[in-house]
Structure 1
Amino acid sequence: MGLLNIRNLTVRFATSAGSFTAVDGIDVTVDKGEVLAIVGESGSGKSVSMLAAMGLLPDIATITADEMTFDGKDLLRMTPRQRRSIIGREITMIFQEPIASLNPSFTTGYQIEEVLRYNAGLSRRAARARALELFQQVGIPEPEEKLRSYPHQMSGGQCQRVMIAMAIATNPRLLIADEPTTALDVTIQKQILDLLMKLQEQTGMALILITHDMGVVAETADRVQVQYKGKKMEEADVLTLFEAPSHPYTRALLSALPEHATGDRLSTVGSFLEPEVQQ
Structure 2
Amino acid sequence: MPLLEIRNLTVEFATASGPFRAVDGADIVVESGDILAIVGESGSGKSVMMMAMMGLLPWTATVTSDVMRFDGQDLADLSTRERRRLMGKDIAMIFQEPMSSLNPCFNVGYQIKEALRQHLGLDRKERHNRAIELLEQVGIPSPEKRLNVFPHQLSGGMNQRVMIAMAIACSPRLLIADEPTTALDVTIQAQVLDLLTGLQRDTGMAMILITHDMGVVAETAERVSVQYAGQKVEEQPVTDLFATPHHPYTFALLAALPERATEKHLPTIKGVVPGQFDRPSGCLFSPRCTFADETCKSTPPAVQPASLGYARCHYPISAKTEETA
TM range (shorter): over 0.9
Shift in Å at residue 85 of structure 1? Answer: 1.8
The equivalent residue for 2:118 is 118
1:272: Cα distance to partner?
5.5
Give the equivalent residue in structure 2 for 1:220. 220
CA shift digits 1:104-132 (9 cap, x unpaired): 11100111111111111111221111000
> Which aligned pairs between 1:133-172 and structure 2 lie closer than 5 A?
133-172=133-172
Deviates more, 1:73-82 or 1:209-218: 73-82
Task: Give the secondary-structure state (helix, strand or coil) at the position aligned to 1:11.
Answer: strand
C-alpha distance after superposition, 1:5-51 (max 9, x if no partner): 00000000001222100000000010000000000000111000000
In structure 1, C-alpha distance between the alignment counterparts of 2:263 and 2:75, rounded to whole Å? 51
Shift of 1:142: 1.1
Question: What are the equivalent positions in structure 2 for 1:18-97 lying under 5 Å apart?
Answer: 18-97=18-97
SS state of the match for residue 269, structure 1? coil
The CA distance in 1 between the partners of 2:76 and 2:121, in whole Å, is 26
How many residues align? The count is 279
Secondary structure of the structure 1 residue equivalent to 2:201: helix
Q: Distance in 1 between matches of 2:201 and 2:234?
A: 26
Q: Which amino acid aligns with 1:251?
A: F
Looking at structure 1, the residues matched to 150 and 87 of structure 2 have their Cα atoms a distance apart, in angstroms, of 26
Q: Which moved further from structure 2: 159-168 or 73-82?
A: 73-82
| 1:85 match: secondary structure | helix
**1:36-90: CA deviations, max 9, x gaps?**
0000000111000000000000100000000000000000111111122211110
Distance 1:248 1:153, change over 3 A: same
Partners of 1:134 and 1:102 lie apart in 2 by 16
Relative to structure 1, the CA distance from residue 179 to residue 273 in structure 2 (aligned partners, 3 Å threshold; closer, same or farther) is farther
Contact 1:13–1:19 under 8 Å retained in 2 = yes
The residue type paired with residue 206 of structure 1 is A
**Aligned residue number for residue 308 of structure 2:** none
CA RMSD of aligned residues (A): 1.5
Alpha-carbon separation, structure 2, partners of 1:200 and 1:152: 28
Q: Which runs of 5+ in 2 are unaligned?
A: 271-287, 301-325
2:191 maps to 1:191: yes
Q: Which has the higher contact order (CA 8 A, sep 6+)?
A: 1
On the 8 A contact 1:13/1:61 being kept in 2, the answer is: yes
One-letter amino acid of the counterpart of residue 106, structure 1:
F
User: In 2 relative to 1, CA 273–93 (structure 1 residues): closer, same or farther, beyond 3 Å?
Assistant: farther
Where has structure 1 moved over 4 Å in runs of 4 or more? none
Give CA-to-partner distance per residue, 1:231-254, whole Å, 9 cap, x none. 010011111100011111100100
What's the TM-score once normalised by structure 2's chain length? 0.83
Alpha carbons of structure 1 residues 146 and 273: separation in structure 2 relative to 1, 3 Å: farther
CA distance in 2, matches of 1:226, 1:273: 18
Larger Rg: 2
Alignment correspondent of 1:2: 2
Counterpart CA distance in 1 for 2:255 and 2:162 is 36
| Cα distance in 2, alignment partners of residues 54 and 125 from structure 1 | 30
Stretch deviating more after TM superposition (219-228 or 254-263): 254-263
- How far the C-alpha of 1:183 sits from its partner, in A, is 1.6
Aligned partners of 2:22, 2:266: CA distance in 1, in Å? 28
Distance, in Å, in 2 between the alignment partners of 1:122 and 1:21 is 42
Question: CA offset at residue 274 of structure 1?
Answer: 3.6
Residue of structure 2 equivalent to 1:202: 202
Instruction: Output the amino acid matched with 2:47.
Output: S
Residues 273 and 28 (structure 1), Cα distance of their counterparts in 2 relative to 1, 3 Å cut: farther
Between the aligned partners of 1:194 and 1:106, the Cα distance in structure 2 is 28
Q: Distance in 1 between matches of 2:220 and 2:197?
A: 7
Name the SS for the 1:105 alignment partner: coil
C-alpha contact (below 8 Å) 1:249/1:273 kept by paired residues: no
Pair 1:129 & 2:129 matched? yes
What is the distance in 2 between the residues matched to 1:121 and 1:71? 23
Moved more, 257-266 or 207-216: 257-266
Aligned to 1:260: 260
**CA distance, structure 2, for counterparts of residue 189 and residue 249 of structure 1:** 26
Question: 1:139 corresponds to which letter in structure 2?
Answer: G
Cross-structure match for 2:106: 106
Q: Unaligned regions of 5+ residues in structure 1, if any?
A: none
Structure 1 residues 98 and 273, CA, compared in 2 at 3 Å: closer, same or farther? farther
Please tell me the residue identity of whatever aligns with 1:119.
H
Assess, with a 3 A threshold, how the Cα gap between structure 1 residues 12 and 273 changes in structure 2: closer, same or farther. farther
